[in-house]
Amino acid sequence: MHVEVAIIGGGIAGLSCAANLGSDVSAVVLEAEPTLGYHATGRSAALYTECYGSRTIHALTTASRTYLTELHPQTSTPRGLMFVAPSGDEEAIANLMVEFGPLVPSLLRLTPTDVEQSCGLFPTSLVAGGVYEKGARDIDVDALLSSFASTARVNGVTVMTSAPVTAIERSSGGWTVVTSDFQYTADVVVNAAGAWGDRIAAMAGVAPLGLIPLARSVFTCDPGQDPQAWPMIVDARERWYLKPEGPHLLGSGASEIPSEPMDARVDERDVALGIEKVTTASTLNIRSVKNTWAGLRTFAPDRIPVAGFDPDHPGFFWLVGQGGYGIMTSPALGALAGCLVRSLAIPEELSNCGVSVEDLDPLRLR
């Protein structure tokens, strides 16, 4: 079967791209797992925040807000984000205000008393203060992924699960992509395979970019009170975080453990380290955990996502390296990728937010 675009990977990257190809482009999404979003997409703390990452990430994030709040409001709800610094580390608070204050005018600097009153876990004796981002939002990953998948299907994109790619070859005028049950020819191959991105490239005879998968374990616990009105709470130097998850708290030591591409498994030592960090920084008494899970966050070497055609292999499009930003930037990154795949100019609303094609081009990593 021939399609104009074959997308390898049915996570947030591949489906956001598929949703932005339009109804006049024939396309297929090939996901190796039985369900969409099985790996990194389904294992994210999933917060929308404009106080995270580089200027490029900030541009993609702000360009995604309209999708999450106006076009598809079912995908996100207000949460708020509070950064907390331990006693004696006023510098961390000052650094956050210098870095993100000019980008997020509504950002508030909090006194130790403000922090204490926010949720009761941080008495003034433990904290130097904090920073509060009112505009941060919870993202419903299932709803967001479904919105992309639904749009893609309405536009005629075939979305296939349990379809691992076994071979990719350069063919006359395009590519041949082979799965266990089907063989496609395509004008363009989009590599949206996450942690497996370099392996997919090698299969196609394309040089790797040096993608870096990093594992992180997460736990949920009972805070002993209702946390639903609390913001997400993050250490000012990103050494741990807590996020309300229904009646429980989701927590992590924010580890980054180098890993091979794999179905990430919980590291009990990483969970124990996360609990130690959280209980040292707060009065939270964690006697037991309710649940644990782990995932991979895959970065490009410069920690900026990659979106663009490989400079040495026409028709091979990279859409990888979203790291810890993939969910919240997916509306903008998907729109950008959809335009680049079709050789169109990126939407004006993206460029108005500072999104630059050159910043994301894989050529920078060659």
Query: Do 155 and 295 sit in the same domain of this protein?
Result: no
- Extract the tokens encoding 220: 């949920």
Is 55 a member of any domain?
no
> Rounded mean pLDDT of the chain?
97
Is 75 a member of any domain?
no
The per-residue pLDDT for 39 is: 87
- For residue 213, what are the contacts with CB-CB under 8 A and spacing of at least 6? 195, 258, 259, 260, 261, 296, 297, 298
* Domains contained in the chain, number: 2
The per-residue pLDDT for 32 is: 97
Q: Point out the domain boundary residue: 299, 317, 350.
A: 299
Query: Do 195 and 305 sit in the same domain of this protein?
Result: yes
Query: Do 230 and 295 sit in the same domain of this protein?
Result: yes
Is 113 a member of any domain?
yes
Alpha-carbon dihedral 234, 239, 244, 248, rounded to 10 degrees? -150
Query: Do 86 and 198 sit in the same domain of this protein?
Result: no
Is 54 a member of any domain?
no
Query: Do 125 and 153 sit in the same domain of this protein?
Result: no
Is 67 a member of any domain?
no
Other beta carbons within 10 angstroms of residue 151's beta carbon come to: 19
- How far is the C-alpha of 288 from the C-alpha of 274, rounded, in Å? 13
Residue span of the structural domain in which 305 resides: 2-43+141-210+301-365
Is 281 a member of any domain?
yes
Query: Do 230 and 281 sit in the same domain of this protein?
Result: yes
pLDDT tens, per residue, the chain with 366 residues: 999 999 999 999 999 999 999 999 999 999 999 999 988 877 888 999 999 999 999 999 999 999 999 999 999 999 999 999 999 999 999 999 999 999 999 999 999 999 999 999 999 999 999 999 999 999 999 999 999 999 999 999 999 999 999 999 998 889 999 998 999 999 999 999 999 999 999 999 999 999 999 999 999 999 999 999 999 999 999 999 999 999 999 999 999 999 999 999 999 999 999 999 999 999 999 999 999 999 999 999 999 999 999 999 999 999 999 999 999 999 999 999 999 999 999 999 999 999 999 999 999 998
- For residue 299, what are the contacts with CB-CB under 8 A and spacing of at least 6? 211, 212, 214, 321, 323
Q: Point out the domain boundary residue: 275, 299, 323.
A: 299
Query: Do 173 and 294 sit in the same domain of this protein?
Result: no
> How many helices and strands (H and E) does the chain possess?
10, 20
Query: Do 147 and 257 sit in the same domain of this protein?
Result: no
CATH of the domain at 281: 3.30.9.10
The per-residue pLDDT for 231 is: 98
Is 169 a member of any domain?
yes
Query: Do 254 and 359 sit in the same domain of this protein?
Result: no
The per-residue pLDDT for 40 is: 80
pLDDT digits (tens, 9 = 90+) for 278-303: 999 999 999 999 999 999 999 999 99
Is 354 a member of any domain?
yes
CATH of the domain at 19: 3.50.50.60
- Extract the tokens encoding 23: 């109804």
- For residue 331, what are the contacts with CB-CB under 8 A and spacing of at least 6? 16, 63, 64, 66, 67, 68
Query: Do 217 and 129 sit in the same domain of this protein?
Result: yes
Task: Give the DSSP per-residue string, 299-334.
Answer: E-TTSS-EEEE-TTSTTEEEEE-BGGGHHHHHHHHH
Query: Do 346 and 359 sit in the same domain of this protein?
Result: yes
- How far is the C-alpha of 47 from the C-alpha of 243, rounded, in Å? 9
Query: Do 227 and 295 sit in the same domain of this protein?
Result: yes
Q: Point out the domain boundary residue: 246, 277, 299.
A: 299
